[in-house]
A and B are shown apart, each in its own frame.
Chain A
């Protein structure tokens, strides 16, 4: 269960894309989830004030909106890292070594599932199945897929991304 830790995070600026979504879905039945998806697409996560704004236009109490947010795995209450690593935990990846990949990620980046590091460089997520089982075990880094991994290849890959992330952070 997600915690309401984001309460202390500073509010991001209001963005027009989300404002348009609020307008477009006004008064539509079943609009809550599309609105939350739009908020997340705009901000990268669901900021607190988006919950209040959605509650305002839909007439659904903020607590209920929050209940829907925490029910679905897709919604995040915190911003993510620069690189989002999605570890495929589908059945094929599991039998072909996903647990070993997970250990290696923890070893190299110090992240467990669902965590983001302090500098917001990396976030580790799991997905139920990316659907390229013949390449298992697989991870995705942002939009790119890396398949047929073993611990050694993964270590090399992670080190490369770590370096890239540090460089981008600096300049």
Chain B
């Protein structure tokens, strides 16, 4: 039987996969010929070529990219692979034509983009819940913890705390009730790893949580997920229901004595709620403000009970480790960073999407190799890792391997997996300002330095970008940054200065150009660019005259227009309006 699988994660749907799916489903419903199966699948990671449709016909498997409802219909009605040659991305067992998957190593993402996330049987066919079964029926909780310790798995939520050790501490806390919490708040504004995992393989995460529950002695799990992820929430709800109906979750799993129930809690849009103590406050229905630690959640967490909090991706690695053994996981990676890491590759990169690579791969390999380098012929300038808590690593340090400690040594962090590529059209001062305005508005306000210090830093950065930078600003930023890091209670404040400090460290000349020469080398900061009209390109169409809000452009129709630089307020409307590239930005 022929089958069509449409990638309908959020990324696919945004690109139009829902319309492709709809068309295929209606064709399948109408047809009275040979039965054709149409199903959905998660994100295979090649977001840059969505929508994707995989067609399986007997032994033949072809993945088609950039599909439209029309192209899908042609395929459905029997068009051959050759007729759709331009769409072919992967054929049979051979690698993809872009070489995107070649160097990846998939553990957490192994099922994403392959199985139907809405179908438990699909997951079971991939050894689904075999890890949980093995843990519950053949291992003691201590053995499970020992296996995780042996694997060297570290928390993927950004902190990198050893997962085995955390489980050990949670296990050691004596209490009548304990909780497992899965942190799916994914706040980094350039990251979508956890969302893709939950949309593409919800059972994988649930199984990881259930194993953790057995290991530490918790009968209840909660997933704290962003309300902005409606699709992931729906898939999780369906997965929980299915697994419960089959006796894999809920009371008396595998017909035995073990209970593990999972509930979903929706976050309400506050970045700081990703911090574990704030997350607990939010789950209890309060304002999500962090509190002092210790006591750590492993001792006193949700409703004052011991609570083991891990990130989505951390849990997604667990079933594989239990099935294959900790040693197999530890065989991958570097001495202190084991296994693989998922990254959301985005920004000025040719092939943006979701990748999972072994620890130890260099940044260059990831960006230039897998990512295919920089878009539209720009020059690779830097990567930003870890979002608002992280930092920029310049292209000159592109040999740095993906390893917790070596990345930290550059001033950046591993982070949760957001990796944004920047080129010479990206202004590093503007990037620093961007992140700081994010953390500043997300500060919960408890600590003076975080609340007011970030505000002062932001004011200085805004002044620099607007052409009002003064000598000494760079030093003021550095001093404030150090003070904020030292005097903040939680990770948000402690790391908020990182994007600023790392850009100063590696791109000080750009700050100086803004401050001393009132120039933005990347032509990004609106106040520091000037506009003029190219004599050669101007056709005298008058479009710019119409949009200029201050009448700074004059000229008769079909004659060269003139821009009065004195009157120009640098709004850039003429630049974005001109169809002939006749407005020059400098």
Residues of A bordering B, CB below 8 Å: 29-34, 36-37, 58, 60, 67-68, 71-75, 89-92, 94-96, 100, 103-104, 107, 127-136, 138, 145, 147, 150-152
Contact with A along B192-226 (1 / 0, CB 8 A): 10011000000000000000000000000000000
Contact partners of A150 in chain B: CB under 8 A: 576
* A133 to B196 alpha-carbon distance, docked (Å): 12
**Minimum CB–CB distance for A111 against chain B, Å:** 16
Most buried by A among B229, B288, B444, B576: B576
User: Which residues of B from 535 to 586 have beta carbons under 8 Å from A?
Assistant: 571-573, 576-577, 579
Contact partners of A103 in chain B: CB under 8 A: 571-573
Contact indicator A33/B14 (Cβ below 8 Å): no
Contact indicator A129/B190 (Cβ below 8 Å): yes
Contact indicator B192/A133 (Cβ below 8 Å): yes
* A90 to B48 alpha-carbon distance, docked (Å): 17
Contact indicator B347/A92 (Cβ below 8 Å): yes
Contact indicator B576/A94 (Cβ below 8 Å): no
| 8 more CB-based (< 8 A) A-B contacts, given A34-B265, A91-B384, A128-B438 | A29-B285, A33-B285, A72-B270, A92-B346, A95-B422, A128-B187, A130-B10, A130-B228
Q: Does B269 contact A (CB under 8 A)?
A: yes
Contact indicator B577/A151 (Cβ below 8 Å): yes
**Minimum CB–CB distance for A69 against chain B, Å:** 9
B15, B229, B285, B422: the one within 8 Å of A147 (CB): B15
**Minimum CB–CB distance for B521 against chain A, Å:** 15
Contact indicator B344/A133 (Cβ below 8 Å): yes
**Minimum CB–CB distance for B263 against chain A, Å:** 10
* A37 to B284 alpha-carbon distance, docked (Å): 14
Query: What are 7 A-B contacts with C-beta separation under 8 Å?
Result: A30-B265, A32-B285, A91-B347, A132-B47, A134-B352, A152-B576, A152-B577
A68, A133, A134: the one within 8 Å of B286 (CB): A68
A60, A74, A104, A138: the one within 8 Å of B14 (CB): A138
Contact partners of B271 in chain A: CB under 8 A: 128
**Minimum CB–CB distance for A64 against chain B, Å:** 8
* A67 to B284 alpha-carbon distance, docked (Å): 14
User: Which residues of B from 171 to 189 have beta carbons under 8 Å from A?
Assistant: 187-189
Contact partners of A100 in chain B: CB under 8 A: 572, 576
Contact indicator A134/B48 (Cβ below 8 Å): yes
A72-B268, A73-B270, A133-B192 given as contacts; is B346 within 8 A of A147 (CB)? no
* A75 to B15 alpha-carbon distance, docked (Å): 28
**Minimum CB–CB distance for A62 against chain B, Å:** 14
The 3 A-B pairs with the shortest beta carbon distances in the complex, nearest first, are A91-B190, A151-B576, A133-B346
**Minimum CB–CB distance for B111 against chain A, Å:** 19
Contact indicator B287/A71 (Cβ below 8 Å): yes
Contact indicator B418/A91 (Cβ below 8 Å): yes
**Minimum CB–CB distance for B416 against chain A, Å:** 12
* A96 to B431 alpha-carbon distance, docked (Å): 12
User: What total of chain B residues lie within 8 Å of the partner, measured CB to CB?
Assistant: 56
Contact partners of B187 in chain A: CB under 8 A: 128
Contact partners of B282 in chain A: CB under 8 A: 33
Considering the complex, give the chain A residue whose CB is closest to the CB of B191. Answer: A129
* A131 to B283 alpha-carbon distance, docked (Å): 24
User: Which residues of B from 273 to 299 have beta carbons under 8 Å from A?
Assistant: 282-288
Contact indicator A73/B268 (Cβ below 8 Å): yes
Contact indicator A29/B284 (Cβ below 8 Å): yes
**Minimum CB–CB distance for B514 against chain A, Å:** 16
Contact indicator B283/A30 (Cβ below 8 Å): yes
Contact partners of A94 in chain B: CB under 8 A: 431, 434
Contact indicator A95/B576 (Cβ below 8 Å): no
Contact partners of A104 in chain B: CB under 8 A: 576
Q: Does B360 contact A (CB under 8 A)?
A: no
Contact indicator B11/A131 (Cβ below 8 Å): yes
* A32 to B268 alpha-carbon distance, docked (Å): 11
Contact indicator A74/B268 (Cβ below 8 Å): yes
Considering the complex, give the chain A residue whose CB is closest to the CB of B13. Answer: A145
Contact partners of B344 in chain A: CB under 8 A: 133
Contact indicator A147/B348 (Cβ below 8 Å): no
Considering the complex, give the chain A residue whose CB is closest to the CB of B195. Answer: A131
Contact partners of A151 in chain B: CB under 8 A: 573, 576-577
Contact indicator A95/B420 (Cβ below 8 Å): yes
Contact with A along B353-390 (1 / 0, CB 8 A): 10000000000000000000000000000001001000
Contact indicator A36/B352 (Cβ below 8 Å): no
Contact partners of B576 in chain A: CB under 8 A: 100, 104, 150-152
Contact indicator B14/A145 (Cβ below 8 Å): yes
A133-B352, A145-B14 given as contacts; is B285 within 8 A of A73 (CB)? no
Contact partners of A71 in chain B: CB under 8 A: 270, 287-288, 444
